[in-house]
Amino acid sequence: MNLLPTAKTKAAQVLVSLKDTLATFVSPGIDPDQYLASAIAEVNMLRIQFSDEQLSDPRTVESIVKSVFNGAVVGLLLGPALGHAYLVGYTRHRGQKGEYVEVQFMPGYKGMLDLAFANDFLVQCDPEFVLNGEEIDRGHTEQGPYVKHRIPIPRDKPTRENIIGVYCTYATKAGGKGVVYVERDELKQIDTGRNVWKTNYPAMSLKTAVRRAAKRWRLTRQMAYAVALDEQAEREEPQTSLVPQPDQAENGINLDDLPEGNE
């Protein structure tokens, strides 16, 4: 049995007590002990941003446990080591009576790519930035949309200030090809300026392009869940539990709301 990190928060201690239950929901291909270890480490990291008192609030503990179980179902290890997924905290009712921290599961850019290739549908998926001053030609022919992007060498480091767009090109095993482009103004509409958008704007921009492209693909259940949960987290809305309690059974994510591509 793998050694687990020390559980330094109440939520991490709860997760250890739920180890056997959590293991039944971990997606195939991931070792349950490895997933639990990544979850405990990520929960412990929340102490950098929030106090132990905040993290001991029952509502916060509940949100952490829900997020970790959601991550198990999606099938992405938590933490910065792989960059596949993270736990992100939001302060609800800030400065008001009833203020508390809600923690949510957020797939990372690399996690989205990992899920994209795991569905045995794609042979190529490449998101890319367009930086200020770079040459790009966009168009649409009878074969569909296209981009021609000249990337200079050397190239400036992508930042919030110089990214003017992002796009994702992809190809399917059936021979289909496509491209999704996200304008700077569209990024501004979803950029909260907080949490991961504040600390890693370039990666969040790339993930946005991949997520939008994913809605055109034949989705696996894990990818569909990841897209839905990511959009909820991005809007800072309460996330659906993928392992619902009896009174939450009717509130699951509806996969019919996530169109599948036929390319």
Q: Identify whether 140 is part of a domain.
A: yes
Average pLDDT value for residue range 42-54: 95
Q: Does 106 lie in the same domain as 16?
A: yes
Q: Does 31 lie in the same domain as 14?
A: yes
Domains: count for the chain:
2
pLDDT more than 90, % of the chain: 68
**Neighbouring residues of 79: CB distance < 8 A, sequence distance ≥ 6:** 38, 41, 42, 45, 85, 86
Region of 239 (left: φ > 0; alpha: ψ -120 to 50; beta: rest) is beta
What would the pLDDT profile of 88-99 be if each residue is shown by its tens digit? 998 988 888 889
**Domain of 150?**
122-216
Residue 252 pLDDT exceeds 60: no
Q: Does 147 lie in the same domain as 235?
A: no
Q: What is the pLDDT of residue 196?
A: 80
Q: Does 243 lie in the same domain as 204?
A: no
What would the pLDDT profile of 160-187 be if each residue is shown by its tens digit? 999 999 999 999 988 889 999 999 999 9
Q: Does 155 lie in the same domain as 86?
A: no
Q: Identify whether 263 is part of a domain.
A: no
Q: Identify whether 65 is part of a domain.
A: yes
Q: What is the pLDDT of residue 260?
A: 42
Pairing status of strand 163-172 against strand 144-150: unpaired
Q: Does 92 lie in the same domain as 41?
A: yes
What would the pLDDT profile of 97-128 be if each residue is shown by its tens digit? 889 999 999 999 899 989 988 878 899 999 99
The confidence band for 197, taking pLDDT boundaries of 50, 70 and 90, is: confident
Total residue count of the chain as it appears in this document: 263
